[in-house]
Amino acid sequence: MKYQTKRIAMISDHASPLANLGGVDTGGQNVYVAQLARQLAIQGYLVDVFTRKDDANLPDVVNWVNGVRVINIEAGPVANVPKEELLPYMKVFKVNMLKFIRVEGIEYTLVHANFFMSALVAMGIKQQLGVPFVVTFHALGHVRRIHQNDADKFPVERLAIEEQAVKMADQIIAECPQDKEDLINYYNANEDKISIIPCGFSHNEFSPMDKQCARRILGLPQDEHIILQLGRMVPRKGVDNVIEALAGVKTKNKQVRLLIVGGECEKLEEETCPEYARLLNVARKHGVIEQVIFAGRKNRDRLRYYYAAADIFITTPWYEPFGITPLEAMACGTPVIGSNVGGIKYSIKDGETGVLVEPHNPQQLAQALNELLSDEMLLSDMSENAIEHVNCYFTWEDVANMLKKVYRNIAPVTRLVQKQSQAA
């Protein structure tokens, strides 16, 4: 049986591959969608990424890279809207996506939904067009509620949507074993429908480089220990935990500096970034304000220098479905201290590529920092182990290959059944 060119519709409601990274609502999901779309296109797929139009200057269709288009769908105000407020616009998102598909006359092999709102749209597409769908949730509402309580501002309908998507999806992508366990325990997911496929990193973006060279490029001192925290500036990332731990770090010869990269813009201001203001107060409270540098958001092509310049990368969120930044740091040869949660405990080899600590425990974090910073040989060994580890298990090429197997297992069977039922 012959099939048309393999066409994939990726839905990423709030996370466009074209967005600038580092803001409150831009991070790992944007990278995931962008990198997988690229890799799938390299392997022969035609990929359309459907995302919400949030800028009037954006064209409706962007021919992004060879084999990948970004389709900007109007749904709600053509402006930035917090993702917690986007659910009411998903019905019109679905309607306009269906309109685009019909006007273009496209037959997609399958849909890959990213996040629960995208899954809601994918369910509607499946019901109307019979196209199977895969879903990567990137975060689960039940788990988020456990960790954030009232700080979770998503509507309560999220949980019911996720439960329905778990039932209707042809396959579910769990990003780590903990993600799979949560899907089974909280959503009664069918274990046979879950495939564990991690996130990855790009060789072209992240690879080892000389630490002194990286520091010269960034204008950072050569004679200090530099600890790096890089990512979205939101409370659940636990940056306050890192700042508090800094007060307990004691080294013999070198000053210790915490470099924080991320935020809504390159020049952060307390008036426009509440989390920045909060973290400044934490640094003042613990007497380490002079040791902390808030670098703001940086272009993605500069991140490798920050990773390479650091002696240690730290990521201590309360909850993290996967976490791409530890992979990027390890790819640059920087050992990682990370929370013993979610995907982080899956990607870091404790004692070999870094150290796992409990979230909300600045004392344990300070102890880990003291141990690593006082042992240059251990840091060197961890650096070598980290490079080997991520290159063996976590490249985007490998991730795309795993995903391709999932796609192949779904689409031909579903299409055959559909065609037989139509013929009958």
* pLDDT score of 268: 87
Nearest CA-CA partner of 410 in 123, 2, 104, 8: 8
* pLDDT score of 414: 45
- Domain shared by 236 and 101, yes or no: no
- Domain shared by 370 and 405, yes or no: no
Mean pLDDT across 277-290: 96
Residue 371 lies in a domain: yes
Question: Is residue 164 predicted with pLDDT exceeding 90?
Answer: yes
Rounded to two decimals, what is the model's pTM? 0.89
- Domain shared by 130 and 186, yes or no: yes
Confidence of residue 351 (pLDDT cuts 50, 70, 90): very high
Q: Where are the beta strands (DSSP E) in 61-152?
A: 61-65, 68-73, 110-114, 133-136
Nearest CA-CA partner of 84 in 162, 174, 158: 158
DSSP conformational letter for 87: G
Residue 205 lies in a domain: no
CATH number of the domain residue 385 falls in: 3.40.50.2000
- Domain shared by 375 and 410, yes or no: no
Mean pLDDT across 183-205: 97
- Domain shared by 104 and 250, yes or no: no
Residue 206 lies in a domain: no
**Taking all residues of the chain, what is their mean pLDDT, rounded to a whole number?**
92
Question: Is residue 8 predicted with pLDDT exceeding 50?
Answer: yes
Residue 2 lies in a domain: no
- Domain shared by 123 and 258, yes or no: no
**φ, ψ for residue 336 (rounded to 5)?**
-120, 135
The tens digit of pLDDT for each residue in 287-336 reads 999 999 999 999 989 999 999 999 999 999 988 889 999 999 999 999 99
- Domain shared by 255 and 403, yes or no: no
Residues 6+ apart with CB under 8 A from 233: 22, 24, 239, 260, 262, 263, 264, 273, 275, 276, 279
**231 with 325: CB under 8 angstroms?**
yes
* pLDDT score of 3: 42
Between CA 12 and CA 18, with CA 16 as vertex, the angle to 5 degrees is: 155
Residue 172 lies in a domain: yes
- Domain shared by 243 and 282, yes or no: yes
Mean pLDDT across 213-228: 97
* pLDDT score of 5: 62
- Domain shared by 83 and 226, yes or no: no
Residues 6+ apart with CB under 8 A from 253: none
- Domain shared by 55 and 155, yes or no: yes
- Name the residue type at position 194: I
* pLDDT score of 235: 86
Residues 6+ apart with CB under 8 A from 302: none
Return d(Cα 356, Cα 376) in angstroms, integer.
19
Distances (CA, A) of 413 to 1, 7, 108, 131, 409: 11, 16, 14, 12, 7
Q: CA neighbours within 13 Å on the CB side: how many for 68? A: 20
356 vs 236: which has the higher pLDDT: 356
Confidence of residue 27 (pLDDT cuts 50, 70, 90): confident
265 vs 156: which has the higher pLDDT: 156
Question: Is residue 47 predicted with pLDDT exceeding 80?
Answer: yes
**311 with 322: CB under 8 angstroms?**
no
* pLDDT score of 207: 97
* pLDDT score of 253: 67
- Domain shared by 191 and 331, yes or no: no
- Domain shared by 265 and 352, yes or no: yes
The tens digit of pLDDT for each residue in 72-124 reads 999 999 999 999 999 999 999 999 999 999 999 999 999 999 999 999 999 99
Question: Is residue 24 predicted with pLDDT exceeding 60?
Answer: no
Distances (CA, A) of 49 to 94, 103, 118: 14, 17, 11
**170 with 132: CB under 8 angstroms?**
yes
Return d(Cα 370, Cα 391) in angstroms, integer.
28
**Among the ranges 1-15, 176-190, 269-283, which has the highest mean pLDDT value?**
176-190
Domain that holds residue 234: 211-393
Residue 1 lies in a domain: no
Domain count, the chain: 2
Distances (CA, A) of 161 to 87, 112, 122, 185, 193: 10, 16, 11, 16, 17
